[in-house]
Amino acid sequence: MSEIEAAVREIAEEMRVRPDRGAVATYIPELGRVDPGQFAIAVATKDGEVIAAGDCNTPFSIQSVSKVFTLTLALGMMGDVVWQRVGREPSGSPFNSIVQLEFEKGRPRNPFINAGAISVTDLILSKYQPREALGEILRFLQYLADDDAIYIDEAVAASEQRTGYSNRALANFMKAFGTVTGTVDYTLGVYFHHCAIAMTVRQLARAGSFLAHLGRDPVTGFSVVSAERARRINAVMLTCGHYDGSGEFAYRVGLPGKSGVGGGILAIAPGKASIAVWSPGLDASGNSHLGRIALEKLTQRMGWSVFGA
């Protein structure tokens, strides 16, 4: 058994029994029903292998982790023009803050806060019809994970459609400033649906692999993005991937990462591995409580921090 296998197995076992599990998000009612006892981890190595443990075959709602892939897609479609719409600075504010947006005239700080991701989705909609756009996003994830079983959880999407007032406020606010250009309801519809994509940690770790390997899929060798773009997406993940907990994640885990309110986190150890963890209970900043702890332990044990082995 390799060192990675041992680490993954032991961490999963440790996390399975820990009593502190955080609190499941309830602001999307459908997510509130998920059993907080679950934990899963998967590591996609540079050899293309996926080593996993825990509830690693259970699909979960990837939510904001999807923003990494819509950003990648939008950059592929229109290049750096994306950065005219959204910045790439940490926001210093919670994920749904509208204050900064007012001071900065409707231009979101970065593509990983909600406003920024809605803006990126709106940009994709400038090229596609809503249904097509959603198909593109889903197929992109299926392609990256090499698994057509990945699907959109319609119940979660519908749940957020009914209750996503903050996001509706953000989108209308940007529409008033002209930084959302499409029809607000369509943009939000696609946004809520791509956040509702369900994946297992196995699929997610595999889908993120290109970011760990200079933009190439380590299994097929196909280039997804250029090496420079992969580096840059990683940089934005590190500085902005955890809302106003980004500094803390960098401090403790030391890897680029993107969390979702469904309890998933995708983390990238450049040159080494793509890692997905999932545990539904969240900490005060809205990031997976056990997921973050598991990543901290794994990184430390494997010497994978980008800030020094």
Distance separating alpha carbons of residues 288 and 292, to the nearest angstrom: 6
Total binding residues toward a copy of itself, as defined by CB under 8 A: 58
**Residue 149 identity:** A
Concerning whether 243 is annotated as a catalytic residue, the answer is: yes
For the question of residue 64 being annotated catalytic, the response is yes
Q: Does 93 bind a copy of itself (CB under 8 A)?
A: yes
Instruction: Considering only residues 3 through 62, tell me which ones interact with a copy of itself, judged by CB under 8 A.
Output: none
Closest distance between a copy of itself and the C-beta of residue 151, in Å?
A: 28
Among 64, 91, 203, 287, binds a copy of itself (CB under 8 A): 91
Q: How far is the CB of 112 from a copy of itself (least distance, A)?
A: 11
Q: Which of 24, 43, 67, 190 is catalytic?
A: 67
110 known member of a binding site: no
114 is in an annotated binding site: yes
C-beta closer to a copy of itself: residue 58 or 100: 100
Annotated binding residue at 261?
yes
**CB-based contacts of 81, cutoff 8 Å, min separation 6:** none
Residue ranges in the chain assigned as alpha helix (H): 3-17, 66-78, 82-85, 99-103, 114-124, 130-145, 154-163, 165-177, 184-195, 201-212, 227-240, 246-252, 289-302
Instruction: Tell me how far, at minimum, the Cβ of 59 lies from a copy of itself, in Å.
Output: 28
Q: How far apart are the first and last CA of the chain?
A: 22
Is position 262 an interface residue for a copy of itself (rule: CB under 8 A)?
no
Question: From the CB of residue 306, how many other CB atoms can be counted at a distance below 10 Å?
Answer: 18
Is 66 one of the catalytic residues?
no
Q: Is 232 in the site for a copy of itself (CB under 8 A)?
A: yes
Residue 90 engages a copy of itself in binding (rule: CB under 8 A)? yes
CA–CA gap between residue 99 and residue 288 (Å, rounded): 25
**Does 50 carry a binding-site annotation?**
no
- 81 catalytic, yes or no? no
Minimum distance from residue 135 beta carbon to a copy of itself (Å): 28
- Asked if 108 is part of the footprint of a copy of itself (rule: CB under 8 A), the reply reads no
Q: Contacts from 161-166 at CB under 8 Å and sequence distance 24+? A: 161/188, 161/189, 161/192, 162/29, 163/27, 163/28, 163/29, 164/28, 164/188, 164/192, 166/96, 166/98, 166/114
- Check binding of 287 to a copy of itself (CB under 8 A): no
Token duo for residue 64: 């904001």
Q: Alpha-carbon distance 154 to 37, whole Å?
A: 24
What residues make contact with a copy of itself under the rule CB under 8 A? 87-93, 97-100, 102-103, 109-110, 165-166, 168-173, 175-176, 184, 211-214, 227-228, 230-232, 234-236, 238-240, 244-248, 250-251, 254, 256, 270-271, 300, 305-309
Active site residues: 64, 67, 191, 243, 261
Annotated binding site for substrate: 64, 114, 160, 167, 191, 243, 261
